[in-house]
Every structure is written in structure tokens, then in C-alpha cells.
Amino acid sequence: MKKCIVIGGGFAGLTSAAYLSKSGIKVELLEASPKLGGRAYSFTDNDTGDIIDNGQHIMMGCYKDTLKFFKIIKGEENLIYQKRMKVNFLKENFNLVPLVTSSKLYPFNLILAVLNYKAISISNRLSLLKFFIKLPFISSKKVKNLTVYEWLKEEKQNEQIRRAFWEILAAGALNTNINKASAEIFNIILKKIFLNGNSSAAIILPKYGLSETYCEETKMFLEKYGAKINFQERALEFKYNDERLFEIVTNKRVISDFDFVVSSIPLFALRNIKSVIDFAPGLEFDYSAILSVHLWLKENNFKDLFYGLINSKLHWIFNHDNHITLVISDANEYIEMTKEEILDIIIIELVRFTGLKKEDIISYKVIKEKRSTFIPSNKILDKRPDTKTSIKNFFLAGDWVNTGLPSTIESAVKSGFTAADLIINELENN
């Protein structure tokens, strides 16, 4: 039986490990931390005893590879699926403005949803609709080298439309400012969300904490197929022979009994391995932080699962019944602030939009994910490396490789499948 070492236990590594195991390949996974999940995991809050996520993650109906992964590990029941796109946007004073499609008559239901989106004027709704009508015919080549802001400006998407729709969508999909993000990659994302059928724009949320939703399911799946998971084991050095990787030195041992290696760790971590070949010369990522604030309230009066805030420093509110999670994307400016300073900013926004005051809060926890996602700027798009490398038995995975997608769960999972497919195809052809 052929054997593959998978380095890294985030979404990309777990996808490769699960798919390879299911395909009859022996898998050994190395994870440097004491847990699975990478940047998407949950833990028990010491103050309340509740399970909370290190950061709120959402998926969408267009996440085809992610849904395939959940089907493989038999974790589909751990997700909450919208039957149709429905996003409750909030203006000040809890003024609810829904953006919702009917469940039938695609794509005309999208047209009706835009026309009924009362956060913007009638004339601006028509401008937004005109954009969506043109979208299928706008090629990536046409918007190449433009920022999202420049593209929207060209398409007459004025400030009201940008603030009430595009900036919120870009924050969720790209985790960065529209002045920094590539229009080319945003064009790809918009087509996947809105031009792939009725369910593609529907939101999918984890039903439980992230670790309970997919990490534990994947661990049980891998163990069922005989895979071995090694926690707190870090790759320190690679050794090559005849264009093949033949030895991995870790902090615990030397590994040489393998045929293939998939590295799913971030680029900065990969570059820390001694003798590693730089497969992405000249590629330097700038990162966007995500700030998550978990609040436990005296009384939770939120009725829906999540809300998007219009023209606010706070982008999203997620309702977990026993607590709520507030999310600020593109949050680099908040990283050096104290938790008390951050709470003060959050309170101002909550008072404006929901009426919640500081005295309504029982407990809170601030979580800063400093390198949550890379900024998908034009300067890095053509420098992202492919999964296949010059080392014959070594493959790259992770949301940062050339998947054509921004730094999302879907990008990570897609890269994991690509790496596994390359290995499987090589075995079938030899």
C-alpha cells in the first residue's frame, strides 16, 4: 500500500487526508499543534463553559468542494442550510432590510430580490440590477488589474450602493477593503455565488462549534480507514534525492517510509522548514485580520441566525442563542487595541443598531486572528504556486495556492482535493 504524509491539519490537509484514505492510500498526518482545524476550530470558554469558535465561518451553496468534503466524512447533518438566499441587513435603530430570493424562478428571483432591497433608492436598485445583468458577459480579462473599487466605479455603483451592498459582500467574501482587492478574483466569486443556480447564494452555517462540526468527524473518519494522526509534531527539515523528497526530519523523529507528501501549511510556515525549496519566489502576502467578539447577554432578543450591518464598523452579528458573535472583517486597525478599547467601539455600534447597552452584557471574549486571510490584491494573483511542484512526490495545498479563489474554506478544500487527485492519478497511470 502506498503511503502519503500530510503536513497540517486544517481544512486543506484534512481534505487531502480523507480523500486519499478513502481511495486506499495509507495516510499519516502531522499537526504541529495539539488540535485539528488550523484557523477554523472551537474551544471551551473558561468563563462560561460554552463552546465558541476562534472566528465565525460561513459557507455558501456554491462551495461545491466543501460540500463534497462534508459528504465524504458524513458530516452533512452538522450544517444548517438555507433553502434560498436570505440576508437580514440592519440599519440604525434595528431597521431591518431583508435581501431575500424566492425559492423558484431562478434567475428572475434574483432580479426581484434586488428590486425589493429597500436599503437603497429605486434608481440605485436599477443600477445594481444593471450590474448583475451585465455580470455574465464581463470577462476576467476585462477587469484584470483593476481593484474592486475601480470596477464598481466604472459600472456606476455609487457610494450608497457600495456601502449598503458591495462593501458588506466584499468584507465577507474577501475579508479586505474594496480599494485593495482584485476585481478579477471578485468577478470569479460573484459568478460562483449568483450565476450557478438557486442554491449557490444560500448561506450555510456550522450547526455546532467548528471542531465539533468537522474536526471530530474527520478524525473518526481517518481512524476508521487506518490513518494515523500525530499531534504536536512539526516538520523541521526536508531531504531530497533525484528530484524526490525522501526524508522528513521532525521535532520527534526522522520519517522516510512514504511515497508522497502533501504540505497544507501556510507559506510562512513552509518557508521555516530547513532546505525547503521556495516554490513561490517573490510571493509575499499581506494579511487581513478578523476580529471576533463573543457576547453573553442578560437577554438575547435576536430572532434570526445572522445579520449584516449597513454603514457600520461592525460587519456581522451571529446568533448562537446562548451568546452572540460580532465580526469585524479587514480588522488590522483593531489588532493593537486592548479588549476594553474594542468593547467600547462595539458598544457604540450596538447602541446605534440594536439598542443593546453595556449593562446588558454579562460576559465577553475578544479573539484576534491576525493572519486570518491574505489580501487578494492584483500583485499576488499571478504569483500563487500550483499544487504540483518540481519535486515529483511533493504537493502543495492550502487556501494560498493557485485555486483561482480568495482565502476561503472553499479554496482550502479545493486545494486539498487537487493534491489528492494528482497523487491518485499518478498511481493509476503508473
Whether 171 has a pLDDT exceeding 90, the answer reads: no
- CB neighbours of residue 388 within 10 Å: 16
Once rounded to an integer, what is the mean pLDDT over residues 379-397?
96
Report whether 40 contacts 10 (CB < 8 A): yes
Whether 104 has a pLDDT exceeding 80, the answer reads: no
Which cell is 29 given? 498526518
Backbone dihedral region for residue 353 (phi beyond 0: left; psi -120 to 50: alpha; all else: beta): alpha
Whether 430 has a pLDDT exceeding 80, the answer reads: no
Backbone dihedral region for residue 242 (phi beyond 0: left; psi -120 to 50: alpha; all else: beta): left
pLDDT at 136: 94
Q: Could you give the domains of the chain?
A: 3-41+209-284+380-428 (3.50.50.60), 104-194 (no CATH), 287-374 (3.90.660.10)
Q: What percent of the chain has pLDDT over 90?
A: 91
Backbone dihedral region for residue 145 (phi beyond 0: left; psi -120 to 50: alpha; all else: beta): left
Report whether 85 contacts 218 (CB < 8 A): no
pLDDT at 106: 79
Contacts 24+ apart (CB under 8 A), 128-136: 128/157, 128/161, 128/165, 130/155, 130/156, 131/155, 131/157, 132/194, 135/187, 135/190, 135/191, 135/194, 135/195, 136/191, 136/195
Whether cis (ω within 30° of 0) applies to the bond prior to 107 is: yes
Whether 245 has a pLDDT exceeding 90, the answer reads: yes
Q: What mean pLDDT, rounded, does the chain reach?
A: 95
- Report pTM: 0.95
240: DSSP letter = E
pLDDT at 285: 95
Expressed in percent and rounded to 5, the helix, strand and coil fractions of the chain are 35, 25, 40
Whether 216 has a pLDDT exceeding 90, the answer reads: yes
How do residues 107-143 score in pLDDT, each as one tens digit? 888 889 999 999 999 999 999 999 999 999 999 899 9
Angle, helices 11-22 vs 64-72, to 10°: value is: 50
Report whether 328 contacts 315 (CB < 8 A): yes
pLDDT at 83: 86
